Amino acid sequence: MKTIDELLGEGVEGKRVFVRADLNVPLDGTTITDDGRIRAVVPTVKALADAGARVVVASHLGRPKGAPDPAFSLAPAAARLGELLGTEVAFATDTVGESARATVAGLADGRVAVIENLRFNAGETSKDDAERDAFAGQLAALADVYVGDGFGAVHRKHASVYDLPGKLPHAAGYLITTEVGVLKKLTEDVRRPYAVVLGGAKVSDKLGVIDHLLEKADRILVGGGMAYTFLKAQGHEVGISLLQEDQIPAVKEYLARAADKGVEFVLPVDVLISTEFPDLKTKAPAHPTTVAADAIPADQEGLDIGPETRKLYASKLADAATVFWNGPMGVFEHPDYAEGTRAVAQALVDSPAFSVVGGGDSAAAVRILGFDENAFGHISTGGGASLEYLEGKQLPGLVALED
């Protein structure tokens, strides 16, 4: 695929360049609580603006129902992008309507605009090819060139990700080229030992990547809510912990395959438990109890890995040469259940391994818990996209950028 450096070499001065970014940041009202995805697109936007392009930035945010919804406006993200760029960023209050057309028409060379949430138009996410193509055509009318840099959305067959690149000359931005380069290090010529840490709520979200990584990883460490389905599959009581009963047969199969292939599968040996889920707004003390992973009472739920598991996981990561981590070890948003996730992050910081934090909640946790992002090999902006790439799937947004 053509890179942004090649595009810049051809000259973009005076051209309208449509940058499909991923500004899908978490909001508390209108306050951005983690601006990592906005910061990630700044190098591409700045390079284009410095080269004299008229930059039109577009993204989705949240899951509006194909119609305008103020709760999902990109206005806060546009304002933050302007702060990071150190320049005023114009904002269009619609996607392809009068405001978008006027805002883009008013851009001078080297200036930047953000158009409103793409998902305010039903054509963005439509499963009907014609409807999606029609919306892509309206977007194409706003630009002369397309740059794909929203890695967090490349696994979606959406109008701005998949259909639009085919209507304009196109190139991959710095973020996408970086992300793909990193993921190749996890799938091609991997330095070993190769350890994978998987957490988060649902086993079903990780089945595909576990299946694929059983052919590549040397050890797989499991935490978070998904761990309780693995513990149940081993015959242990998990109380009222998060559990996907329907996934137990698949989990048993993976544990058997791992044993056959010599892949070390590491599960929690102790957990923090409580009779109720913690209050994430007040952060009121939760007073958890620590028990062995095979001794969870029937009326309790596991909410984080315990201290012995933290030590065990740190030891399993200490000698790794490559580590991929996706998913927190517990309810890290509450201080009483953050230590498991903190321990994994610290183990990656302490390890000489090439470490990749696979986006989503893991990336948010690293920042919320106060770690220096530069202490990790790479922090991805796309959890779902990273997982699907590691599953060996073709990602529509990357296919669309191929020449």
Q: Which residues are annotated as a binding site for substrate?
A: 22-24, 37, 60-63, 119, 156
Tell me how crowded residue 106 is: count the other CB atoms within 10 A of its CB: 12
Cβ distance 54 to 109 under 8 Å?
A: yes
36 is catalytic: no
**Cα–Cα distance for residue pair 194/213, rounded to 1 Å:** 10
Find the catalytic residue in 39, 101, 202, 311. Answer: 202
Secondary-structure breakdown of the chain: helix, strand, coil percentages, each rounded to the nearest 5? 40, 15, 40
What DSSP designation does 244 have?
-
Using CA atoms of 250, 253, 255, 256 in order, give the dihedral in degrees to the nearest 10. Answer: 180
Find the catalytic residue in 37, 132, 157, 216. Answer: 37
384 is catalytic: yes
Find the catalytic residue in 306, 360, 382, 397. Answer: 360
Q: Which residues of 358-373 are buried (b: 16+ CB within 10 A; e: fewer)?
A: bbbbbbbbbbbbebee
157 is catalytic: no
Find the catalytic residue in 239, 306, 384, 397. Answer: 384
**Residues near 171 by Cβ (< 8 Å), separated by ≥ 6?**
1, 2, 3, 4, 6, 7, 145, 146, 147, 148, 401
**Cα–Cα distance for residue pair 20/18, rounded to 1 Å:** 6
Omega prior to 328 cis, within 30 of 0: no
**Cα–Cα distance for residue pair 276/286, rounded to 1 Å:** 9
Residue ranges at the known binding site = 22-24, 37, 60-63, 119, 156, 206, 302, 333, 359-362
54 is catalytic: no
Residue ranges at the known binding site for ATP = 206, 302, 333, 359-362
Residues annotated catalytic, as ranges: 37, 202, 360, 384
